Structure 1
Amino acid sequence: MKLKQSATAAALTAMTVLGTTLAGTADALATSDRHVATTFDSPRQAAPTIDAKGPGVFPHSVDYYPGSRKFVTGSLAHSTISSVDQKGRVRTIIEDKDLVSVQAVRVDSKGNRILAGNVDYGTADRSTDATKFKVAGVAAYAIGSGRRLWYADLNKVADDDKQHLVSDVTIAADGTAYAVDQLSPTIFRIDRNGQASVLLRDDLLAGDLNIPDFLNNVGMSAVAWIPGNLLIVAKADGSLVRVPVDSPKKAVKVKLPKNLKALTAGIRVLPDKSLAVVSSGLLSGKAAVVQRVRPDRHWKSATVKVTDTVADPVTSSVTAGPRGTTYALSGGLAALLAGKPNDGFTLRPVNVR
Structure 2
Amino acid sequence: MRLTLSAIAVVVAAVTTAGTALTTTTAAHAPRHQHIRVSGDIQPCPVHTIDAKGPRVFPHSVDYDARTGKFVVGSLAHSTISTVGRDGTVRTLVDDKDLVSVQAVRVDSRRHRVLATNVDYGLADRSAPSTKLSVAGVASYDATTGRRHWYVDLNKVADDGKQHLLADVTVAPDGTAYAVDQLTPTVFRIDRHGRASVLLRNDLLAGTVDIPDFLTGVGQTAVAWMPGDVLIIAKADGSLVRVPTRHPEQAGAVRLSGKLAALTAGLRVLPDGSLAAVSSGLLSGKAAVVQRVRPVDHWTSAAVTVTDTVTDPVTSGVSAGPRGSTYALSGGLAALLMGKPNDGFTLRPVTVK
Flag whether TM exceeds 0.5 (same fold): yes
Q: 2:110 is matched with which residue?
A: 110
Unmatched segments (≥5 aa) in structure 1: 1-40
- More helix, by proportion: 2
8 Å CA contact 1:47, 1:325 repeated in 2: yes
Q: 1:137 is matched with which residue?
A: 137
- More strand, by proportion: 2
Q: 1:7 is matched with which residue?
A: none
Structure 2 counterpart SS, 1:156: helix
Q: 1:64 is matched with which residue?
A: 64
Rounded Cα–Cα distance in structure 2 between residues aligned with 1:257 and 1:352: 17
Structure 1 counterpart SS, 2:334: helix
Rounded Cα–Cα distance in structure 1 between residues aligned with 2:61 and 2:132: 20
* Cα distance per residue 1:169-228 (max 9 Å; x no partner): 000010000000001110000000000000001111001101233211100000000010
Q: TM-score, normalised by structure 2?
A: 0.87
Rounded Cα–Cα distance in structure 2 between residues aligned with 1:214 and 1:335: 16
* Cα distance per residue 1:32-81 (max 9 Å; x no partner): xxxxxxxxx93899310000010100000011111111101000000000
8 Å CA contact 1:42, 1:351 repeated in 2: no
Rounded Cα–Cα distance in structure 1 between residues aligned with 2:212 and 2:345: 24
The amino acid across from 2:117 in the alignment is G
Structure 1 residue 313 displacement after superposition: 3.7
> Across the two proteins, how many residue pairs are aligned to each other?
313
* Cα distance per residue 1:129-149 (max 9 Å; x no partner): 221111000000112321110
Structure 1 residue 111 displacement after superposition: 1.4
Q: 2:206 is matched with which residue?
A: 206
The amino acid across from 1:269 in the alignment is V
Structure 1 residue 110 displacement after superposition: 1.6
Rounded Cα–Cα distance in structure 1 between residues aligned with 2:241 and 2:168: 15
Rounded Cα–Cα distance in structure 2 between residues aligned with 1:294 and 1:307: 12
Q: 2:154 is matched with which residue?
A: 154
Q: 2:34 is matched with which residue?
A: 42
- Map 1:339-350 to 2 at 5 A: 339-350=339-350
The amino acid across from 2:78 in the alignment is H
Q: 1:4 is matched with which residue?
A: none
Q: 1:272 is matched with which residue?
A: 272
The amino acid across from 2:109 in the alignment is S
Q: 2:233 is matched with which residue?
A: 233
Q: 1:88 is matched with which residue?
A: 88
8 Å CA contact 2:141, 2:148 repeated in 1: yes
The amino acid across from 2:245 in the alignment is V
Q: 1:17 is matched with which residue?
A: none
Q: Once superposed, which parts of structure 1, at least 4 consecutive aligned residues long, lie more than 3 Å away? A: 41-46
Higher CA-based Rg: 2
Structure 2 counterpart SS, 1:309: strand
The amino acid across from 1:42 in the alignment is Q
Q: TM-score, normalised by structure 1?
A: 0.87
Structure 2 counterpart SS, 1:336: helix
Q: 2:332 is matched with which residue?
A: 332
8 Å CA contact 2:76, 2:101 repeated in 1: yes
Rounded Cα–Cα distance in structure 1 between residues aligned with 2:98 and 2:257: 44
Rounded Cα–Cα distance in structure 1 between residues aligned with 2:322 and 2:93: 20
8 Å CA contact 2:93, 2:144 repeated in 1: no
Q: 2:223 is matched with which residue?
A: 223
Rounded Cα–Cα distance in structure 1 between residues aligned with 2:83 and 2:54: 10
Rounded Cα–Cα distance in structure 2 between residues aligned with 1:132 and 1:289: 30
Q: 1:26 is matched with which residue?
A: none
CA change 1:321–1:195 in 2 (3 A) is: same
Q: 1:166 is matched with which residue?
A: 166
8 Å CA contact 2:313, 2:334 repeated in 1: no
Rounded Cα–Cα distance in structure 1 between residues aligned with 2:139 and 2:329: 22
The amino acid across from 1:119 in the alignment is V
Rounded Cα–Cα distance in structure 1 between residues aligned with 2:53 and 2:312: 17
The amino acid across from 1:233 in the alignment is I
Structure 1 residue 258 displacement after superposition: 1.8
Structure 1 counterpart SS, 2:189: strand
8 Å CA contact 2:327, 2:348 repeated in 1: yes
Structure 1 counterpart SS, 2:256: coil
The amino acid across from 1:317 in the alignment is G
Rounded Cα–Cα distance in structure 1 between residues aligned with 2:263 and 2:176: 27
